[in-house]
Amino acid sequence: MTTYVEGLPTLSLRRLRDAVLEGEPGCVCDPELFTGPTDIEPEDEPAQDRATRITVAREVCAACPVRLPCMAYALRLRPATGVWAGFTAEEITGLAAAAKRPARPGQRYSPPLRETNPLAAAVPGQGKTGHTSATAAEVA
């Protein structure tokens, strides 16, 4: 079932999963690359092996055609292990928690103040006074 939030469609977990699987994800080539070796517990995997495995998995995810639906699926599912859309399960949990927090509690976003003339800083020799300095060719 598709629901709508603020005018944008939100897919069910099943439809997100189907979108990922139908899009030929890169993770089907070697599932252990993304979940870890099946013959050992995650906490028993040597740290260097885990880091290397995650790095390679991230590279596969970077080129995956279904990375965005995979990320949406992982954010909704909150997996306990594995690499999803280039993020570890711990990173997914952190992203999901951060998405629920307001950027600045109790404050609205205000863009930074800018100079009235944005080109003033880009033009060499022109300061806040608007005067330009002479170049060596002009003086000679």
Instruction: Locate all alpha helices (DSSP H) within 78-109, ordered by sequence.
Output: 89-100
Residue 86 covered by a domain: yes
Does residue 137 belong to any structural domain of this protein? no
Task: Express each pLDDT in 25-60 by its tens digit.
Answer: 988 889 899 999 988 888 899 999 999 999 999 999
- Per-residue pLDDT at 11 exceeds 70: yes
Q: Which two tokens stand for residue 128?
A: 């806040």
- The number of distinct structural domains making up the chain is 1
CA distances from 42 to 26, 66, 67, 89, 102 (A): 22, 26, 24, 12, 33
**Helices 13-22 and 67-77, axial angle in degrees (round to 10):** 150
3-state DSSP assignment of residue 65:
coil
Residue 62 covered by a domain: yes
Domain assignment present for 115: no
Look at residue 94 and tell me if it is in a domain.
Answer: yes
pLDDT in tens, 108-128: 656 666 555 555 555 555 444
Is 11 within a domain? Answer: yes
What residue numbers bound the domain in which 72 lies? 3-100
Tokens of 60: 């596969």
The answer as to whether 132 is a domain residue is no
Quick: pLDDT tens for 71-110.
999 999 999 999 999 999 999 999 988 888 776 666 665 6
Amino acid identity, position 109 = Y
Which residue stretches of the chain are H helix? 13-22, 31-35, 47-62, 67-77, 89-100, 136-139
Name the percent of the chain lying above pLDDT 90. Answer: 48
Residue at 30 is within a domain: yes
